Amino acid sequence: MNAEVRVPTDTLRSKQPRFQGMTAGHRACLGCGEALAARLVTEAAGPDVMVANATGCLEIFTTPWPESAWRVPWMHSLFENTGAIAAGMEAALKAQKKSTKVLAFGGDGGTFDIGFQALSGMLERGHNVLYVCFDNEAYMNTGIQRSSSTPHAAMTTTSPPGKERMGKRHLKKDMVSIVAAHHIPYAATSSVAYPSDIRQKIRRAMAVDGPTFLQIHSPCPLGWGHDGAESIDIARLAVKTGLFPIIELERGGLTGVMPIREPVPVTDYLKRQNRFRHLFSDDLRAEQELEHIQAIADHNIEIYDLTGHGESVYDADGMSIVRRGGMRRA
Amino acid sequence: MLQALEGSQAIARAVALCRPAVVSAYPITPQTHIVENISKLVADGQFDCEFVSVESEFSAASVALGAAMAGSRAYTASASQGILLMAEVLYNIAGMRVPLVMTCANRAVSAPLSIWNDQQDSMAVRDAGWIQLYCADNQEAVDTTIQAYRISERTELPVMVCMDGFTLTHTLEGIDVPEQEQVDSFLPAYHFKRALDPRNPTSVGTLVSPDHYSEARHSHHQALLKAMDDIIAADQDWGAICGRSYGGLLKTIGDPDADIAILSLGSVLGTLEAALSEMPPERSVKLIQLRSFRPFPAEALRQVCADLSHIIVLERAIAPGSGGIVGLEVLAALSSLDKPPRVHNCAAGLGGRDIPMEILPQLLALADEDRPADFQVIDVVLDRLPEEDR
């Protein structure tokens, strides 16, 4: 490299223009994981797309009429029909012989719960749609109510801890496995803590002619009870504890995992969020729940073999090192 | 050339002639034969479209919406429970002002479960913001389906073509199926100017604050009112091509100077017309077929009712706790006349109960009353009910 060539860093970015499908100026909260994830997804997907967006925070904060943060054709219809709207778009584009890729965006409420049927139908019929679920583990748009994605023991406004309860009584639904059970070409999880992993998986899914699914773990500072500046750290801890495994499934079979270099105890993740603060009280039930949650993480580590074999530069630590011009997976 | 076709078969042919690029539907009695016939046309290579067999009516309406928004002409059909399951999407389609055509094979709504005909389903979504056209026979349903695409795409409003389940959908009649060239000359290729396009990205279905919501609803209401001109024009223009037209917003049958009229919607008009010729009443009577229920043609109705003494409104649905649905709207529309006729209101044929020709004298007897009686289900058999429910 010629040491004489100097590029001022302040102009470097403008000299490398990137397509942005969702731009600044939207009204997401400070540190919103979903906003960052949606930006990364649309950036990687490029301009030749059409988006069907479920009702939810993402829809609300990006489109207060007459403003819009979207630079790609975008449509919101209802909460529970996003899979079907996307299917209709795809059928139309197919009839028109266009190659525009249809993206469907939903939160965990719109995906795991109310829109589950329409999603399943879209997957079963094999529409060429990339469905992205921004998973922030509760109904955040209506003010933090539990969803079937809310993790066990988490506090929400409809799963509050009290004399008779220790937060949500049920387990987080294993959505990616259910989606993969449709034997679609590609289903995966990712986390907003790993932008290059998101980019790589979006590009991968974009190249598939058929239904694909990506579930992105996206912290909600308001709903989880942490400072907005800590979103990425906390998302990374969810992965490094084993509570949110980063995996890939093709035609229903597991084909990839992001290994964890050093598994972190779940308490390191839980104690930084208010939604779990009742688990750190002087209460036998709290102690039992913490053991329970550690057991869930250990189970994930075991079934997905998350500690891996040997050293991979693409593990949960290596993937964090993203430097321009340095090692980059995608 | 006339062909003996079942109503559903005729509708499937009519839909194919309109060349929608995407058809999406979920089977429900009595709409099923429409979907089956479309599937067969597609399978036989006689209808080139993306046929999406969805997992529910909710998705059927949603797929059609997504397709129309992505720039393709779309079609769906349903009935009864299916219409109610679609209800949220129907409001959404209309509110977004998306052109779309659906057939409603009118059927009663559960409970009690009934697969047979009345018009409770389409009446339940009368305020969804769709144009609703009610057909008296299968030829009209075929022609109205073709007109509906023209109306929908010119007004950017969805159109629901209502045809009575079984009475029309499952009945074989001689049908003149139009030629493809006739339909092509009437219906230009689909062009929706607000269709989504990556080269010119727009956002649709956005959040609207109280600063703008009332204006959106007002303009939607105005668009429906203005659609009356397009409904009339489509009927006339298609009439010029195929030689059949249906009176636009409403049609009067019988003596135009009659003092008494019976107004209804759908296939019961055929029964009443037959009854008038088979058992002519002493008084001169005319029939009014309300073809367009949404928009409600108040002015056209006033014109044909100005000289009436009595109008009997025969409902095919009921608003429990209130009574008539159409009757109240007729009453409201006629109230501004100098000498409004008395409006007598009843329902008949609920849940598929047969409406025989003998209903005619029964209906006319309502006009013998000095003042209109309360709304009644005219063919109810009270003996079948316990004393306290009569």
Q: With respect to residue A2, please indicate whether it lies within any of the assigned structural domains.
A: no
Across the range A38-67, mean pLDDT stands at: 96
Determine the pLDDT at residue A324: 44
Does position A1 have pLDDT exceeding 60, yes or no? no
C-alpha separations of B50 from B24, B72, B229 in Å: 8, 10, 32
Q: Could you give the angle at which helices A116-124 and B57-69 cross, rounded to 10 degrees?
A: 70
**Are the beta carbons of A75 and B68 separated by less than 8 Å?**
no
Q: Who among A52, A53, A88 is closest to B64 (CB)?
A: A88
Lowest mean pLDDT among A13-22, A39-48, B35-44, B110-119: A13-22
Omega before B30 cis (within 30°)? yes
Q: How crowded is residue B197: how many other Cβ atoms within 10 Å of its Cβ?
A: 14
Q: How crowded is residue A186: how many other Cβ atoms within 10 Å of its Cβ?
A: 21
Does position A17 have pLDDT exceeding 80, yes or no? no
Determine the pLDDT at residue B265: 98
Chain A neighbors of B214, CB-CB under 8 A: none
Nearest by Cα to A36 from A68, A81, A85, A69: A69
Lowest mean pLDDT among A26-35, A57-66, A305-314, B166-175: A305-314
* CB pairs A-B closer than 8 Å: 162
B21 touching A (Cβ < 8 Å): yes
Q: H or E stretch including B361?
A: helix B359-366
Does position A328 have pLDDT exceeding 70, yes or no? no
Q: Who among B64, B201, B204 is closest to A72 (CB)?
A: B201
Provide CATH 3.40.50.970 ranges for chain B. 2-242
Q: With respect to residue A4, please indicate whether it lies within any of the assigned structural domains.
A: no
Q: With respect to residue A269, please indicate whether it lies within any of the assigned structural domains.
A: yes
How distant is the Cα of A95 from the closest Cα of chain B, in angstroms?
6
Q: Cα separation of B371 and A312, whole Å?
A: 90
**Residue found by looking up tokens 């500072």 in the block:** A221
- In which band, very low, low, confident or very high, does the pLDDT at A313 lie, cut at 50, 70 and 90? confident
Phi/psi at B187 (5° precision): -120, 105
pLDDT tens track for B297-314: 999 999 999 999 999 999
Q: With respect to residue A29, please indicate whether it lies within any of the assigned structural domains.
A: yes
- In which band, very low, low, confident or very high, does the pLDDT at A323 lie, cut at 50, 70 and 90? very low
- What's the domain count of chain A? 1
Determine the pLDDT at residue A322: 54
pLDDT tens track for A186-239: 999 999 999 999 999 999 999 999 999 999 999 999 999 999 999 999 999 999
pLDDT tens track for A70-96: 999 999 999 999 999 999 999 999 999
Range of the domain at A179: 19-326
> Two tokens at B69?
């928004």
Determine the pLDDT at residue A309: 77
Does position A8 have pLDDT exceeding 80, yes or no? no
B55 touching A (Cβ < 8 Å): yes
> Two tokens at A24?
């600044």
- CATH domain B2-242 topology: Rossmann fold (3.40.50)
- In which band, very low, low, confident or very high, does the pLDDT at A318 lie, cut at 50, 70 and 90? confident
How distant is the Cα of A279 from the closest Cα of chain B, in angstroms?
38
Q: What is the CATH number of domain B250-389?
A: 3.40.50.920
Provide CATH 3.40.50.920 ranges for chain B. 250-389
- In which band, very low, low, confident or very high, does the pLDDT at A264 lie, cut at 50, 70 and 90? very high
Q: With respect to residue A8, please indicate whether it lies within any of the assigned structural domains.
A: no
> Two tokens at A293?
């949650």
Q: With respect to residue A13, please indicate whether it lies within any of the assigned structural domains.
A: no
Determine the pLDDT at residue B370: 77
Looking up residue A139, the CATH number of its domain turns out to be: 3.40.50.970
pLDDT averages per 10-residue partition of chain B, 390 residues: 96 98 98 97 97 98 98 98 98 98 98 98 98 98 98 98 98 97 97 96 95 96 98 98 97 95 98 96 96 98 97 98 97 97 97 97 92 94 94
- On whether ipTM exceeds 0.85, the answer is yes
What DSSP letter does each residue of B171-192 carry, written as one string?
-EEEEEPPPHHHHHHHSPPP--
Omega before A265 cis (within 30°)? no
